[in-house]
Structure 1
């Protein structure tokens, strides 16, 4: 996959993107109070039913003691993208979809200053349970993006409280 920014954003996608009304606020209702996503600098590039693509830049304060991406930062980035794919961008009055479990495999070091892209896709939905894959890539100067982690999330739709 090349840069996610080359994709055509869906209506309701990232602020500043075609099809998004910047005055309407965040492109997804779950981002309204999500301080973690804001701190991460997460940008929504595309939203569709069962799909989300996001980006963020790996900053110095996101690194571990080895000077590479902290696994928790990669997890939080993937988990937020997973949540965006699981929940309709129009919102729901009655339900929310949350993680019931995840597995993550770290494959390569995340390098400071690089742009990370998370691409989440629904693989299966059965009743209130779902299965999603999230691939996390990082930009490579002068080359193709490389996969740095794979995240598999299991979702459960529950009543809103």
Structure 2
């Protein structure tokens, strides 16, 4: 029997809950999530709003750059991102975001997040830069 993945960064994440994010994989420097697009996620052109795709990729970024086994003494946050939207979507499609570490140096790192439809069509390429900081009081 496969254990259901867990990530503390999803606890209390209201945006991920609104998006309908489901966690498929969570380990150090790697995460995979999915969501099904509803009408509420689409713009006036009938495609997923860019902000929704960005938020979905950003959720994956947070899960990828924060180790689910962390002791809570540090937090890794975004210091900058670039996103390229490559194809449109339609309501009812499932999106999958997968994130991986590209490079790390000290407290800074670069991660790539790909957002695809469940049939493999690339919707967006997201590159995130992160910084790890100490959690006050931890």
Match of 1:74 among 47, 53, 74: 53
Give the TM-score taking structure 1 as reference length: 0.81
- Structure 1 stretch displaced more, 71-80 or 86-95: 86-95
Q: Which residue of 2 aligns with 1:38?
A: 17
Q: Which residue of 1 aligns with 2:133?
A: 158
Q: Which residue of 1 aligns with 2:3?
A: 19
Please state how far the C-alpha of 1:93 moved relative to its aligned partner. 2.5
Q: Which runs of 4+ in 1 moved over 6 A?
A: none
Match of 1:146 among 99, 116, 121: 121
Distance in 1 separating the partners of 2:117 and 2:90: 8
Match of 1:102 among 81, 95, 100: 81
Match of 2:110 among 108, 131, 134: 131
Give the TM-score taking structure 2 as reference length: 0.94
Distance in 1 separating the partners of 2:39 and 2:72: 39
Q: Which runs of 5+ in 1 are unaligned?
A: 1-16, 21-25
Q: Which runs of 5+ in 2 are unaligned?
A: none
More strand by share: 2
The CA RMSD measured in Å over matched residues stands at 1.3
Instruction: Name the SS of the counterpart of 2:57 in structure 1.
Output: helix
Instruction: Name the SS of the counterpart of 1:137 in structure 2.
Output: strand
